[in-house]
């Protein structure tokens, strides 16, 4: 049986690892001691907005706060926040076996490269988790939106496919992950808007002014992607380039045409909103910041996304929230139109 390590037992790590463990995979979790104590007391309760329900008892959970616990792993899923990738890479460098497969299931575009640089000769694959995971209580994690884990295809994945199948995941494999990552990042540009709104995702997306803020950020990114020759993958019925127009529609039309986008748990918020609420550093530099980096490589600017980065960094200090009208006016003042 393959041995799987979850390197970063946060919401995503606990949910992915818990589902794999519930499907009888041999899983160990590596993370902070606080989450370890929580799992030892409560185990894992995993739920799905479509009705799924899984339980992993406390005595069935293997947890360690020490990186060395990943030394014997055949598959390592890296789920730490992007800001912790360099540290995780350094920790893994001395312990990952030569035949182990490492998958970065993280936000942003550069984490796989950071891991590869620290792990020469190992198989390091880009991955992506398209769904939101909400913490509902001690040891309780809820998948609040649709999607299946995505990963760069490799023959080295073959020994683990059955584990994902038993977990109920259709592990989606791609020859080229960059268009998939950019498609996800375009949707993740809403993380900042949602965090600044102070509202659950469903309520925020139901309001046109907030959607127009997201449309501004996406439209800016799409122009840059076109200049760079990058075509985002199609993760929804509509191509990515059509999404800003959909977001700008009046509320009644949007609710009618974008039902799947609103099919979110009513309490779900973006991970960035959760980070702000918990006083943690956000991943803004690895989301909207990626658009700014792309603009700089092209000799261009990304003023809308740059303003969102600045507003989130200010909110990390004062936790201020914005009405849709005020946020839209703020972004339009940068030169954004929409």
Q: CA 303, CA 224: separation in Å to the nearest integer?
A: 12
Quick check: 35 pLDDT over 80?
A: yes
Give pLDDT tens digits for 269-305: 999 999 999 899 999 999 999 999 999 999 999 999 9
Residue 223 maps to which CATH number? 1.10.1040.10
> Which residue, 171, 140, 3, 5, is CA-closest to 78?
5
Asked which of 175, 209, 225 is the last residue of a domain, the reply is 175
pLDDT for position 126: 98
**In the chain, what percentage of residues exceed pLDDT 90?**
86
Residues in the chain, overall count? 338
The Cβ-side half-sphere exposure at 11, using a 13 Å CA radius, reads 21
**Of 150, 175, 200, at which residue does a domain stop?**
175
Q: Could you tell me which residues come within 8 angstroms of residue 32 by beta carbon, excluding any fewer than 6 positions away?
A: 9, 65
For residue 259, pLDDT over 80 is answered with no
Burial 266-296 (b: 16+ CB within 10 A, else e): eebbbbbbbbbeeeeebbbbbbbbbbbbbbe
Residues 185 and 112 both lie in one domain: no
49: domain range? Answer: 3-175
pLDDT value, residue 122:
94
Please write the tens of the pLDDT for every residue from 81-126: 999 999 999 999 989 999 999 999 999 999 999 999 999 999 999 9
Please check whether residues 118 and 224 belong to one and the same domain. no
138, 159, 175 - which closes a domain: 175
Assess whether 211 and 238 both reside in one domain: yes
In angstroms, the CA 234 to CA 183 distance is: 7
Give the confidence band of 27 by pLDDT, cuts at 50, 70, 90.
very high
Contact of 188 with 198, CB cutoff 8 Å:
no
Tokens matching residue 210: 């907030």
267: helix, strand or coil: coil
Q: What total of structural domains would you count in the chain?
A: 2
Question: How many CB atoms within 10 Å of residue 256?
Answer: 10
- What's the confidence (pLDDT) of residue 105? 97
The structure's pTM equals: 0.92
Does residue 338 carry a pLDDT above 60? no
Q: Kindly state whether residues 96 and 133 are assigned to the same domain.
A: yes
The Cα 86–Cα 55 span in angstroms is 33
Whether residue 228 sits in one domain with residue 199:
yes
Residue 338 domain flag: no
Q: Are residues 114 and 248 in the same domain?
A: no
Q: Give the pLDDT of residue 337.
A: 59
Quote the CA–CA distance of 257 and 251 in Å, as a whole number.
10
The total of other beta-carbon atoms located within 10 Å of residue 36's CB is 17
Considering the domain architecture, whether residues 249 and 292 belong to the same structural domain is answered as: yes
Q: CA-to-CA distance for 81 and 10, rounded, in angstroms?
A: 9
* C-beta separation of 151 from 103 below 8 A: yes
């Amino acid at each position: 049986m393959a041995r799987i390590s979850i390197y970063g037992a946060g919401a995503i790590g606990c949910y992915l690892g818990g589902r794999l463990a519930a499907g009888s995979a041999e899983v160990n979790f590596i993370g902070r001691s606080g989450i370890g104590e929580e799992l030892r007391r409560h185990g894992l309760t995993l739920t799905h907005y479509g009705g799924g329900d899984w339980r992993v008892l406390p005595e069935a959970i293997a947890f360690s706060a020490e990186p060395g616990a990943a030394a014997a792993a055949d598959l390592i899923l890296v789920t730490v926040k992007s800001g912790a990738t360099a540290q995780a890479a350094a920790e893994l460098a001395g312990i990952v076996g030569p035949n182990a497969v490492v998958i970065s299931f993280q936000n942003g575009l550069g984490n796989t490269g950071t891991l590869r640089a620290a792990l020469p000769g190992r198989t390091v694959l880009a991955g992506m988790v398209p769904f939101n995971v909400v913490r509902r209580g001690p040891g309780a994690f809820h998948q609040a939106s649709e999607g299946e884990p995505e990963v760069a295809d490799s023959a080295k994945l073959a020994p683990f496919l059955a584990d994902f199948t038993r977990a109920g995941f259709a592990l989606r494999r791609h020859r080229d992950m960059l268009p998939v990552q950019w498609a996800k990042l375009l949707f993740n540009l809403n993380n900042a808007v949602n965090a600044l709104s102070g509202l659950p995702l469903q309520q925020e997306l139901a309001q046109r002014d907030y959607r127009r803020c997201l449309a501004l950020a996406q439209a800016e990114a799409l122009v840059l992607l076109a200049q760079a020759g990058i075509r985002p993958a199609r993760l929804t019925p509509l191509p990515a380039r059509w999404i800003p127009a959909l977001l700008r529609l009046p509320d009644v039309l949007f609710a009618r045409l974008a039902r799947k986008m609103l099919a979110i748990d009513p309490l779900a918020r973006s991970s960035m909103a959760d980070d702000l609420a918990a006083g943690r550093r956000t991943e803004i530099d690895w989301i909207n910041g990626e658009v700014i980096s792309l603009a700089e490589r092209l000799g261009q600017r990304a003023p809308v996304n740059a303003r969102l980065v600045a507003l989130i960094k200010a909110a990390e200090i004062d936790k201020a929230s914005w009405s849709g009208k005020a946020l839209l006016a703020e972004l339009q003042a940068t030169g954004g139109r929409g």
